[in-house]
Amino acid sequence: MKITDVEVLYLRLPNLTIKGDGSQDAVIVRISTDEGIVGIGEADSSPLIIKAIIETPPSHSASIGLRDLLIGEDPLEIERLWEKMYRQSIYYGRRSVGVHAMSAIDIALWDIAGKYYGVPVYKLLGGSYRDKIPAYASVLMPDTEYEVEKLACGFIEQGYTGVKFGWGAFGKDEYKDVSLVAAARRAIGDKLSLQIDIGMEWKTVSHAIKMCKRMEPFHLNWIEEPIPPDDIEGYARLARHVSQTIASGEELTTRFEYWDLMDKGQVGIIQPDVTRCGGITELKRIATLAELKSTRIVPHGFSTGILVAASLHFLAALKDGDLMEFCRTGSPLNTDLLIKPIEFEHGMVVVPQSPGLGVELNEEIVKKYGYRVS
Ligand code: MG
């Protein structure tokens, strides 16, 4: 089998606003083969940059667009192709968007492999520990205690196992941070786990240490990104001074960056996003390192059903992959992009069982939201 094409689909809602959430646009990669098997993947990144990285013509031997590296290759040789892409994009790639683009391609290759062998991707990853993954709801922190309580009650009704309030109102006033979290805990009682995502708004390590201590009465499952993920020394200081579990890393790419965050930064939970970190291939390597460091993985996920499906297969095959972020925004790119949506029942997300990722694009939605740059 040979790869015959690598297409980049840029989907975008007509009324996109930069203050809105990340589900307003998406970049999907579709890889075709000479045997008629087609795979899909996604990068949660900046769509036109991803498009450029994949489609750009070669300028010299270590600066080649990813599409040119893949045409004519055997799509089943996934690890070799990962190394080929990494090596030949080494000057413009290695981290960040270069690896985001590789992630989308890698996911599409796993989809092709599953379809070729007639099995769901989790079987290729070693087999399934579970067929449903417990999900926590993830939502922006609103401005008032009333709104916090209303949202929290809705999540209890929908059956989620936990809730995370993040970004939004956090970090502007320390008294308000405490009162909003107190309202969340009051509203959910001890029925659900509660975690908060500071979105790097606590700024200094000293302030973050002080605020973590003030959050102790609310029994948080974790405190996420109080400071930027590159501040490895800051995370190490937090680990020495704070009793709660600290989570971080949704922005990072490759095992090299996660190793530093775990080894030097001593975080308790890493949050790789499969559509950014290097795809399923790299996420497996990161998981091996995480096991060596006794660090938990709770993947980040805030985009289409392709990301959700890739995360589900990874978690199904991970020994302790028993929690995922699950966002249901009103965006049609989240709700309608797949012919058969990802199933959510009683707080659990169901792992697709068809070959490959087990999801198919709804071509009408692709056509409707396909965006062309003039
Ligand atoms: Mg986050």
Chain segment 333-370, per-residue pLDDT in tens: 988 999 999 999 889 999 999 999 999 999 999 999 99
Residues labelled as active-site residues:
300
Ligand 1 geometric centre to CA of 313 (Å): 21
Task: Reply yes or no on whether the pLDDT at 20 is more than 80.
Answer: no
CA dist 259 → 113, 173, 182 (Å): 28, 33, 34
CA quadruple 329, 332, 338, 341: dihedral sign = positive
At residue 110, the 3 state secondary structure works out as helix
Chain segment 241-292, per-residue pLDDT in tens: 999 999 999 999 999 999 999 999 999 999 999 999 999 999 999 999 999 9
Report the share of the chain in percent with pLDDT over 70: 99
Ligand 1 geometric centre to CA of 15 (Å): 25
Ligand 1 geometric centre to CA of 32 (Å): 33
Ligand 1 geometric centre to CA of 226 (Å): 10
Chain segment 53-99, per-residue pLDDT in tens: 999 998 888 889 999 999 999 999 999 999 999 999 999 999 999 99
Task: Reply yes or no on whether the pLDDT at 166 is more than 90.
Answer: yes
Closest alpha carbon to 86 in 255, 221, 260: 255
State the amino acid at position 351 in one-letter form: V
The pLDDT of residue 42: 98
The pLDDT of residue 195: 97
CA-CA distance, 136 to 164, in Å (whole number)? 7
Distant-in-sequence, close-in-space partners of 354: CB < 8 Å, separation ≥ 6? 120
Task: Reply yes or no on whether the pLDDT at 329 is more than 80.
Answer: no
Ligand 1 geometric centre to CA of 200 (Å): 9
The pLDDT of residue 373: 79
Q: Which residue has the higher pLDDT, 109 or 191?
A: 109
Q: Which residue has the higher pLDDT, 302 or 329?
A: 302
Task: Reply yes or no on whether the pLDDT at 309 is more than 90.
Answer: yes
Task: Reply yes or no on whether the pLDDT at 191 is more than 90.
Answer: no
Closest alpha carbon to 103 in 331, 241, 320, 279: 279
DSSP state of 327: -
The pLDDT of residue 328: 66
Neighbouring-strand partners of residue 349 = 133, 344
Ligand 1 geometric centre to CA of 250 (Å): 6
